Amino acid sequence: MKSTRLTSILSSGLVASALAIGSLASTQSVSAQTSRPLADVNIPFAFQTATATLPAGAYRVILESNDLIYLRGPGSAGALVMTHTAIKSHAASRGTVVFVRYGDKYYLRQLWTAGDLVGVEFPKGRAEKESMQAKNMQAPSSIELALNSLPKQ
C-alpha cells in the first residue's frame, strides 16, 4: 500500500515538473516573439531614463515585452527601460514621446502610439527625484516629440 502511494506521489511530481519545464520553455519563446519595433523618434537633446543618460539623436523604440522598452540610439547608445501602463481618456491622434524638464535636464516620461488609449509611463529615477527636490517641487515643463510610425509588419 505504501509503495503504491509513493509511486503515485513520485509520478505526480514528475508530471508537475514536466509541466513546469514545458511552461517555462513556451514562455521564453513567446517573449522572444514579442520584441518588435514600435517607432522612430529624433530627440534633439540629451536625456535621462531611470538608469541611463543618453545623447541626442535618432532612436528606434522597440517593445521587448509588456513592461520593457529598448531605446536603440546613435552609435552604441541605448538603454532598456522598465515601464508601466498609462491610460488616456481619449486616443492620441499621433504618436508622441513625452519628456519633463527641470532646468536644463530632460527626463523620459511617457510614450503614446497613435490611436491608442493605452500608453506607457517610465518610472522616475534617482537623478529626476533629486532635480525635483532641487527645484523645490516646482512643476516641470513638458516637451512632446512626434513619433515616426513604422510600417506594420
**Residue ranges in the chain whose pLDDT is less than 50:** 6, 9-32
Record the pTM: 0.70
Phi, psi of 95 (to 5 degrees): -75, 140
57: its cell numbers: 539623436
User: What pLDDT digit, counting tens, does each position of 53-68 carry?
Assistant: 999 999 999 999 989 9
- The predicted pLDDT at position 21 comes to 45
- The predicted pLDDT at position 66 comes to 84
- The predicted pLDDT at position 6 comes to 47
